[in-house]
Amino acid sequence: MVYDFRYREIFRSLDVLLEGVWLTVQLSALAMVFGLAIAIVCAVIKTDGPRPARFLVNAYVEVIRNTPFLVQIFIVFFGLPSLGLRLTASEAAVIGLSINLGAYATEIVRAGIESIPRGQIEAGVSLGLRRFQVFRYVIIVPALKAIYPALSSQFIILMLATSIVSQISAEELFHTAAFLESRTFLSFEIYSVVAVLYLLLSIGFRAALNLIGYVVFRRR
């Protein structure tokens, strides 16, 4: 059987796919920022917080890391309206992705914080630095530098996980591809192009993260 590949029809809709790519980039970038903020707060609580707060953080990490992301995003998008909180698909996607990343990145950040020698912290205190200054200059920056490669890999995984939010109709790349496939029935052509686009996104994000790491950490 000879199959007639019809990529030309897909390329006619490339602008639609690129809109999906742009939303994927936006969702990923926002979730990376918010997820990292959640992870830093939770990691600090786990290393130096009161016992009740540590218990809550441990519970959050265990629940998120041991349940499917699809279930989590459904709870955010379909469950929260039952409590009176209505969100758009994009808002629910950012919240769900941020919460998911926060749980996974918490352990990474915690490991980085615990890698800082105690004597280094005591030296900062003895130099007259305030508590926040010690945290900023002596703890968190060196910790993030140590864990940055692992954190970057988690960010890439997050970007690829944005395809799941298509299930709540967030119009990112995979949702756009599914829409085009339902209109053209060119499944192989569409999803092979989407696979290439995700590959290019991964390479682009990796390059951007490496550049950020160089500017923030290596130049220091």
Q: Pull the structure tokens for residue 175.
A: 């949702």
Residue 194, domain member (yes or no):
yes
Confidence of residue 184 (pLDDT cuts 50, 70, 90): confident
Sequence-ordered list of residues with C-beta below 8 angstroms from that of 111, at least 6 positions apart, any chain: 147
Percentage of the residues of the chain whose pLDDT score is greater than 70: 98
For residue 220, is pLDDT > 60?
no
Residue 7, domain member (yes or no):
no
Domain that holds residue 178: 12-218
Return the DSSP state at 83: G
Residue 118, domain member (yes or no):
yes
CATH classification of the domain holding 191:
1.10.3720.10
Residue 167, domain member (yes or no):
yes
Mean pLDDT of the chain: 89
| Whole-prediction pTM | 0.90
Let me know: does 199 contact 48? Beta carbons within 8 Å. no
Residue 4, domain member (yes or no):
no
Mean pLDDT of 49-71: 94
Mean pLDDT of 165-176: 89
d(CA 146, CA 80): 37
d(CA 152, CA 143): 14
Residue 205, domain member (yes or no):
yes
Residue 137, domain member (yes or no):
yes
Query: What type of residue sits at position 159?
Result: M
Residue 5, domain member (yes or no):
no
d(CA 58, CA 63): 9
How many domains does the structure of the chain reveal? 1
